[in-house]
Amino acid sequence: MCHAVEKDGPSSPASMLEIKELTLRHGSRALIEGINLSVATGEIFAIIGASGCGKSTLLRHLMGLELAPVGTITLNGCDINDPDELKRECARKQFGVLFQNGALWTTMNILENVALPLENSLDFTAEERRDIAALKLSMVGLGGFESFFPHELSGGMIKRAGIARAMVRNPAILLFDEPSAGLDPTTSQKLDELILRIRKNRGVTFILVTHELASIFAIVDRAAFLDSDSRSVLDVGNPDELARKSPHIKVRRFFQR
């Protein structure tokens, strides 16, 4: 059963991210071919499908960590799939990332963790970096926990600290890898509510890799179903519509399992 979360739609229909004719490979094996997707500004977009279908691989390509042999990934005019490192860096500056386990440094308190992406920036003094990090922590409900270390935090708090770090450079787009993984239903719902609140207050666009049906139904505007058998994006649409009306039984079974 999906939990009830009030969901506002995208603030603008303008496309922010465009993926055209992208091919994903694992070694010499093609995972998904001919990916054509667009993500609108302010949209919460999910990448879904069975294990091994290429969801995490696609996310790594969106981060610019891997280059696809064919296709383009354009974020506000910058091609993330360009072999030119400087051109890829143009795109990287526009997004923040939440990794599945939070990926916090255990030897740093959470204020230091959140401030880390600003460490090499000449635009801010050390005090300004701390102030920005403290502001981001307060935005995710962790004001007052600045001096805590990761081992002193719950799983949900670690995810929130990871979100604060992902937001510290005011990105236009946030990429989340299994944000609800390992969380109990109540904590997962609170995380969903936080994502919606960030979208509403900051106009941020989200791309999530997730298999959590409750979260998908509660907050996702559209989802793309990747299929390893056909090596294609099998269907794209609103989760409720996909669950009821997708012409592909594999997609309907995913939502109705």
pLDDT value at residue 5: 60
pTM of the model: 0.89
Reported confidence tier of residue 167, pLDDT bands at 50, 70, 90: very high
Go through 196-207 and write b for each residue having 16 or more CB atoms within 10 A of its CB, e for each that does not. bebbeeeebbbb
- Give the pLDDT confidence score for residue 65 in this predicted structure: 85
In this predicted structure, what is the pLDDT of residue 11?
42
Give the pLDDT of residue 8: 62
Q: Which of 83-97, 103-117, 157-171, 228-242 has the lowest mean pLDDT?
A: 83-97
- Nearby residues of 222 by Cβ (< 8 Å), 6 or more positions away: 43, 45, 46, 236, 237, 238, 239
Phi, psi of 91 (to 5 degrees): -80, -40
pLDDT in tens, 177-189: 999 888 899 999 9
Query: Does the structure show a pLDDT above 50 at 12?
Result: no
Check whether 9 has a pLDDT greater than 90. no
- Residue 223 has a CB neighbour count (10 Å cut-off) of 26
| Percent of the chain topping pLDDT 90 | 63
Confidence of residue 99 (pLDDT cuts 50, 70, 90): confident
Predicted pLDDT at 1 = 44
Q: State yes or no: pLDDT of 10 exceeds 60.
A: no
DSSP string, the chain: -PPP------S---EEEEEEEEEEEETTEEEEEEEEEEEETT-EEEEEESTTSSHHHHHHHHHTSS--SEEEEEETTEETT-S-HHHHHHHHTTEEEE-TT----TTS-HHHHHHGGGTT-TTS-HHHHHHHHHHHHHHTT-TT-TT--GGGS-HHHHHHHHHHHHHTT--SEEEEESTTTT--HHHHHHHHHHHHHHHHHH--EEEEE---HHHHHHH-SEEEEEETTTTEEEEEE-HHHHHHH-S-HHHHHHHH-
What amino acid is encoded at 62 in this protein? L
pLDDT of residue 141 exceeding 60:
yes
Match 């669950």 to its residue by tokens.
Answer: 243
The pLDDT assigned to 6 comes to 54
pLDDT at 198 exceeding the cut of 70: yes
Q: Which pLDDT tens digit goes with each residue over 57-78?
A: 899 889 888 888 889 999 888 8
Q: What pLDDT does 66 receive?
A: 86
